[in-house]
Amino acid sequence: MSESREQRWSLKGMTALVTGGTRGIGHAIVEELTAFGAIVHTCSRNETELNERIQEWKSKGLKVSGSACDLKIRAERQKLMETVCSEFDGKLNILVNNAGTTIPKEATEFTMEDFSTIMTTNFESAYHLSQLAYPLLKASGNGNIIFISSVTGVIAVPLCSIYASTKGAMNQLTKNLACEWGKDNIRVNAVAPWIIRTSLIDSIEVQLIPPHFSVNCYI
C-alpha cells in the first residue's frame, strides 16, 4: 500500500493543520495526510484525548503534533495559528476546516445558545481560521483549504436547520475564497459527505431522507 501511495503522488515535506482531528472524519484525514508524507498539526477541545491520539500516532511513526483548543473562542483560534506559524516556520500548505457539531431539534425549539454554538463552531471558526491562515498559505506558494461541508448544505434534512445553514454558508464561502485567493496560489475546495457513522452521529438519533429521494452534489 505504501509503495502504491508513493507511485501515485506524495505530500512529503508538506505541512497541514486539521481541526478536530482526534475523532471521526478528522482522525481519518490526519492519518491519510501523514500516510502520504505530510507533517500534521491538529487540535481538540479534549486535551486528554488529544494526547492519547498523538501518542498513538507517534507509536506508528506518524509526524503529528497537537494543541488543545476550543474553536468557539476567538483568542484560542489565534493562539492555535500562532503555534502553527511557529511550528511550520511561517508556512502552511494545507488547512482542513473539519471541526463541527450539531444539535438535532425542530426549528421552533432552537435557542439562541444553540444557534451560537453551532454557528460559531461550524462556520465562524472556519472563516476566521482561513483568514488567519491566509498569509501562511500564501507564503508556502502552494496553499490549499479544504472545508468539510455536508450534503445538508445542499438539500433539506429534518432536525438540522442551523447545521444545514452553516454548511450552505460554507459552500458559498468556498466559491468566494477560491475566486479571491486563486491569484495567490491558494486552492479552496469543499467536500460534502452524506451521513458517516462517527461519534457525532452515534450521539444522536438520525432520521434519514426517504430512500426514493436522490441527490446529486457538485461543489
Q: Which residues are catalytic?
A: 163
208 Cβ contact list (under 8 Å, min separation 6): 195
27, 18, 165, 108 alpha-carbon torsion, rounded to 10°: 60
d(CA 41, CA 95): 10
Give the three-class secondary structure for 15. Answer: strand
d(CA 11, CA 23): 22
d(CA 21, CA 146): 14
Reading the block at residue 88, the C-alpha cell is: 511550520
| C-beta of residue 157 within 8 angstroms of C-beta of residue 164 | yes
| C-beta of residue 11 within 8 angstroms of C-beta of residue 33 | yes
Distance in Å from the first CA to the final CA of the chain: 30
DSSP string, 62-89: --EEEEE--TTSHHHHHHHHHHHHHHTT
